[in-house]
Each structure stands twice: as C-alpha cells, then as structure tokens.
Structure 1
Amino acid sequence: MVRYSEFFMVALAGISTGLYSLYVAHQVLNGLTSKLIAWIIVSASIVLSGFGLYLGRFIRFNSWDIFTHPFYLARKSFHELQNPLAMKITLVFTLVVMVLYISILILIPNRYASVKNVA
C-alpha cells in the first residue's frame, strides 16, 4: 500500500535541499560578483530549471539522456522551445520555484551577511 505521506516528506526534503543549495550558490555569487549579476545568474538558472522540469515531466527525459542521447536531447529541446504549451508550463514552474526561493530568502535570517567565506 502506498503511503502518500512518505512521498510528501521525501519531496519536501528534496525541494528544501534544492532551494537551500541555490541559496548557498547565490551567497557565493554575491561574494564573487555584484548583486545584480548574481540575481541574473540565479534567475537564469531558475528559468532553465523550469524548462528542465518540463522536459522531465512531459517529454520524459532523464538526467542520463545528456550522456546517452545528447544530440537528440538538444534537437528535441530546441524543438520544444517553439511549443507554446512548453513555454506556459515552463513559466508556471519558474514562477513556483521563484516564489519558493524568495520565501526561503525571507525566512532565512541575514545574520551571516558580514561573513566573507560563506561556503
């Protein structure tokens, strides 16, 4: 029997870990570049993540396809960029991840802002 609470807990742990690692990468980028460039890089990675979520969920690509079928993956990905449904779903995924990330930024106290070596 499937216990959905276990799936929920594992999914929540995965989302939390991903958002926190994005937070750490953002802090490192803030130390290496200007805040604007750091936000541009983080935002671009969130948009690419949204498209990656679309490719995995609807086109059914997996992580190993970049090694086993790289040219087919690239061709199919560029083809999907012309699909209006793909762009809408990517936008929704991007907005969800961005809202979750901004929520994490609000929830994590900024007491370590003066520390030079965050990572």
Structure 2
Amino acid sequence: MPRPAVMTLSDEAVNRVCEIMSAQEPPLAGLKVGIKKGGCAGMEYTMAAVAEVDPKDEVVERDGARVFVDKMATLYLLGSRMDYEVTKFRAGFVFQNPNQVSACGCGESVELKAAG
C-alpha cells in the first residue's frame, strides 16, 4: 500500500506550479517547499524553483505539477494542503496546515508544531 503524500495540492496550486515549471527554459524540475525560522510568529514558509531533484526530499506530484518538500520541513508540513489564491491585493501560495498553532497579524509568519 503506497504511503500517503506529505501534503496535497489544490487544483489552483497544481495549475500555478505547472505554469511556473514550464515558463523556464529548460523547464524546472519543480518547486521546493520548506520552512525557516523567522518572522514575529517564529517560522516562515519558503519556496524555491529547483532545476535538480534532491533525493532526500519528499515528492508530491499531481497532474504534471511537482513539489519537493524539504526533509527538514516534513514533520511540520505533514497533512498540509497547498493552495494558490488570487485576491484584490495579492496572489500567492497559501498553506492550510493542521500543525499550525498560530499566525502573526500580518500573515507572513506562523507558529508550527511537529506532527504527532
């Protein structure tokens, strides 16, 4: 039985990841998601375009979109859903994360606990 993915991708996230991957020449391997210490709540999500795969990363693939989850972030992102939203004032990836304890008022950083 296959192991469940670390996180899932919404339809909107899949479409945006595919757009980003194919906009580069040569096309990107995918996007890498991680976390780092910072911000007023303690942690921030990170995203980077990657040309080469790190075999230590978890891979989330759906309909041509490929997202790599940094091995150091796996326990903090377990069960998360990555979405892409466009509002009147911003567009970007957002995370619905069951491991999030709180977020700062500006929405730039979060407090996360490791999955149990």
**Where on the TM-score scale, by shorter chain, does this alignment land: which range?**
under 0.3
In the superposition, the TM-score normalised over structure 1's length comes to 0.23
Q: Which has the larger radius of gyration?
A: 1
Bigger proportion of residues as helix: 1
Question: Which one scores higher on RCO, CA 8 angstroms, separation ≥ 6?
Answer: 1
In the superposition, the TM-score normalised over structure 2's length comes to 0.24
